[in-house]
Chain A
Amino acid sequence: MEKEILRGGQFLVKETSCENIFTPEDFNEDQLMMKEAVTEFVDREIWAKKAQFEQKDYALTESCMRQAGELGFLSISVPEAYGGMGMGFVDTCLVCDYISGATGSFSTAFGAHTGIGTMPITLYGNEEQKQKYVPKLASGEWFGSYCLTEPSAGSDANSGKTKAVLSQDGKTYKITGQKMWISNAGFCSVMIVFARIEDDKNITGFIVEYDPENPNGITMGEEEHKLGIRASSTRQVFFNDTVVPVENMLSTRGNGFKIAMNALNVGRIKLAAACLDAQRRTITESVKYANERIQFKTPISSFGAIRQKIAEMATNCWVGEAATYRASKDIEDRITLRQNNGKDTHQEAELKGVEEYAIECSILKVAVSEFVQKCTDEGIQIFGGMGFSEETPIESAWRDARISRIYEGTNEINRMLSIGMLIKKAMKGHVNVLEPAMAVKEELMGIPSFDVPDYSELFSEEKNIIKNLKKLFLMVAGATLQKYGEKIEKQQQLMLAASDILIQIYLAESAILRAEKMANKEGEDNVKEQIAMAKLNLFHAIDVIETAGKHSIISFSTGDEQRMMLMGLKRYIKYVNMPNIIELRHIIAEKVINENKYCF
């Protein structure tokens, strides 16, 4: 059977079969070898030199980036025509994932270069620009940075004050302005700079070369002293009449905001991936410590309180993997499909492929960045006082994790984007929410059936719950939209609540499908920890969804309407055979503790 590729956002209104999702268990031999190669690189070159990175040795970052270039890690997603490997989107995510093994610090340098530093040119550059810049960026001869943020333009990225003024002879632009928080500024040779021409509504992108010997009006601020990610150089960049040939305009005038947003879209799922191995490493370090640390004459890993943490940490990580790789493969398939249809060049196919799943990309960015934060926080707790010491790797892991909730669009912005984009997709008819929403309305009017279906098959009830949670989303979000219409964007708390529901649905479904796929292949008895993780996660998801749903309903409805919706809420979160989650946690923790590492 051919795989049905759902369009972006359609997961909300359609069912997916477990055979149609890609999971880390589906990595092929080459992918496994890539994973090993990246891990070996991180172990040898990054993790082993962690202390030196913590001393803010940016020359070391630069030399490690060059090594990454030699190993081909910088060119995974670059087309072969420009000196890259032309590998698929899953491969790209896999490398982003495992490069984050040193708990995320070096991965910012890596991500800023390969993602926002290189992608705008591969995706929007013309042939000359691509020939000139991409091979050198792919090999690591040059490094890239991305200059969008300004002191007065952060989340409001299109409001930048940096100007680009055309010369009288029409051959060059002069760029003047101040950019801040620029990753890789300390050692880049190419900058993607966004500036405004005259009083244009939208900014324009430029490729700007930087040579410290011949600075062309560019000066750098000092290195920022940051809470974490000390393997990543971050500076302000000042442009003072920097002369840029007109040929270096990216795409067309006024298209910069679109470029900036699309570059970030791709970046978001890669960032989610780059929060995964940081979690695996943190879990492994924590469980090793818990197995060795003796208190009250027993290893602390035998205490329920610690086992609970280990189980929850492992579950989040595993769920994050399920959702990230599911989406990465959907994107890859979409790109291939578009390309095979012959309508799109690879460039267009990739752009549209990722744009299609922008909702999922935002969901993942938010969810997985919050997982890594929780994971490192509990990691410190497991280490106790030692976790607070710079001597243990957990301390920096916690500091390194914090940034992921801020950059690539803050989690608030991404939460609201996920809902905003969904509404747009619904309006365009790309995701048909209207009919399902009407059906839900009707169902709510009717009398619920009190028959308990046959739930004996694995996950039959859980899958039914997922269906109901989707209905719940349609009920809550539908009513919110009806109430506020276009002004919904002003109702941020409601947008955030709706987004929480959406996020939980995507993750819970991905986890159940991953466990189901494994159970089908290996037998339920052999994947009992995975089944436990999928159920534990769903259980938590229901809690989050119930809270978010309740907050929304009681804020915008009253009387009968409120009563009916609260009843609907109750009906849609019903879990007949509720699992004993303490038992589930023990099953999961037992395995991780026995293996002395994150082992799924």
Chain B
Amino acid sequence: MKILVCISHVPDTTSKINFTEENTKFDSNGVQFVINPNDEFGLTRAMWFKEKQGAEVTVVNVGTSETEPTLRKALAIGADGAIRINTPATNSFSVAKQLANVAKDGAYDLIIAGRESIDYNGGMVPGMLAALIDANFVNNCINLDVEGSDAKATREIDGGKETVSTTLPLVIGGQKGLVEESDLRIPNMRGIMMARKKPLTVVEANETSKETTSISFEKPTPKGAVKLVASDNIDELVNLLHNEAKVI
């Protein structure tokens, strides 16, 4: 089985978020980047397929050379090869199109993407990618087994779970549940040493059309201080809710 894992290069969740160029660009200064958590769950599941079922695992990212350390971390964790599509990831559709080119060329059986990346939280790439390459698609996937060309996947639905059977080629939008946090792998020292010896292929982007462009970003207004109202002072509470918070 040939697996392609889509890896998004995202700011660590503890990063301070700021924007530059008149709020049109994310300020990456001093920000630590990591493998998108949903993708890491997928990568870890892919490693399981590699070890238990002999799958071959390639990781792919759409991005400039700054994302290579993240790809090399995936190699250190155990992926066999990496591909970087050399263009900045600007919007979901163009990213999906770039990934589709690589996916078609490599004739992958299973493509694991994350349900969403934790930077822009678009959540659209996996679905678009599946449509572009005409593959089956399971989103919000929390469990996945493959036998031959048959796949059994469980996805999270409102208030419960749904298990579906489908066939390869398949694209999933994965999340926690594919594996648990405790299954995530710390790259071992040999893996880190080997990562440099594994192929990291840079391919040029096919077309870099921009269907949507960001005009500006805005941060939410910071939460104010908490006001404590004595439990017997209902009038004050009503007054605050009505006149200050304006919610009643």
Contact = CB atoms under 8 A, between A and B. Distances in A.
Contacts of B84: none
Nearest to B189: A72
Interface in B74-115: 76
A37 B188 contact: yes
A85 B190 contact: yes
A29 B196 CA distance: 10
A40 B187 CA distance: 9
Interface in A430-486: none
B72 interface: yes
B72 A71 contact: no
A70 B190 CA distance: 10
Contact of A37 (B69, B182, B192): B192
A32 interface: yes
B84 to A, nearest CB: 15
B190 to A, nearest CB: 5
B69 A73 contact: no
Interface in B170-192: 182, 186-192
A29 B186 CA distance: 16
B73 interface: yes
A34 B191 CA distance: 10
A40 B192 contact: no
A9 B232 CA distance: 73
A69 to B, nearest CB: 10
Contact of A71 (B73, B182, B188): B188
A189 to B, nearest CB: 22
Contact of A40 (B69, B186, B191, B196): B186
A70 B188 CA distance: 7
Interface string A339-354: 0000000000000000
Given A30-B196, A33-B76, A85 B189 contact: yes
B192 A30 contact: yes
Contact of B69 (A33, A44, A75): A33
Interface string A3-44: 000000000000000000000000001101110110011001
Given A32-B69, A33-B73, A41 B192 contact: no
Contacts of A65: none
Q: Is the interface of A mostly helix, strand, loop or mixed?
A: helix
Contacts, number: 44
B247 interface: no
B61 to A, nearest CB: 16
Contacts of A32: 69
B89 to A, nearest CB: 21
A515 interface: no
Nearest to B34: A36
A277 to B, nearest CB: 16
A30 B73 CA distance: 9
A76 interface: yes
B248 interface: no
A167 B190 CA distance: 44
Contacts of B191: 72
B95 to A, nearest CB: 24
Contacts of B192: 30, 33-34, 37
A33 B182 CA distance: 20
A87 B189 CA distance: 10
B69 A71 contact: no
Interface in B59-75: 69, 72-73
Interface string B216-246: 0000000000000000000000000000000
Interface string B1-39: 000000000000000100000000000000000000000
Contacts of A87: 189, 193
Interface residues of B, number: 16
Nearest to A80: B193
Contact of B189 (A29, A36, A37): A37
Contacts of B188: 37, 70-72
A33 B189 CA distance: 9
A29 B193 contact: no
Nearest to B193: A85
B189 A76 contact: yes
A209 B187 CA distance: 32
Contacts of B76: 33, 37
A595 B190 CA distance: 33
A36 B40 CA distance: 15
A72 B191 CA distance: 9
Interface string A72-116: 110110000000010100000000000000000000000000000
Contacts of B189: 34, 37, 71-73, 75-76, 85, 87
A29 B187 contact: no
Nearest to B182: A44
Contacts of A41: 186
B193 A33 contact: no
A71 B72 CA distance: 17
Interface in B153-203: 182, 186-193, 195-196
A72 B72 contact: no
Contacts of B190: 72, 85
A438 to B, nearest CB: 50
Nearest to A597: B14
Contacts of B187: 33, 37
A32 B72 CA distance: 12
Contacts of A37: 76, 186-189, 192
A73 B190 CA distance: 10
A114 to B, nearest CB: 12
Interface in A300-328: none
Contact of B193 (A30, A40, A71, A595): A30
B68 to A, nearest CB: 8
Interface core residue of A30, A32, A41 (most chain B CB under 10 Å): A30
Contacts of B195: 30, 33
Nearest to B196: A30
Interface of B: 16, 69, 72-73, 76, 182, 186-193, 195-196
Given A30-B192, A37-B192, 5 more contacts: A36-B73, A37-B188, A44-B186, A71-B189, A72-B191
24 contacts: A29-B69, A30-B193, A30-B195, A33-B69, A33-B72, A33-B73, A33-B76, A33-B187, A33-B192, A36-B73, A37-B186, A37-B187, A37-B189, A37-B192, A40-B186, A41-B186, A44-B182, A71-B186, A71-B188, A72-B188, A72-B190, A76-B189, A85-B190, A85-B193
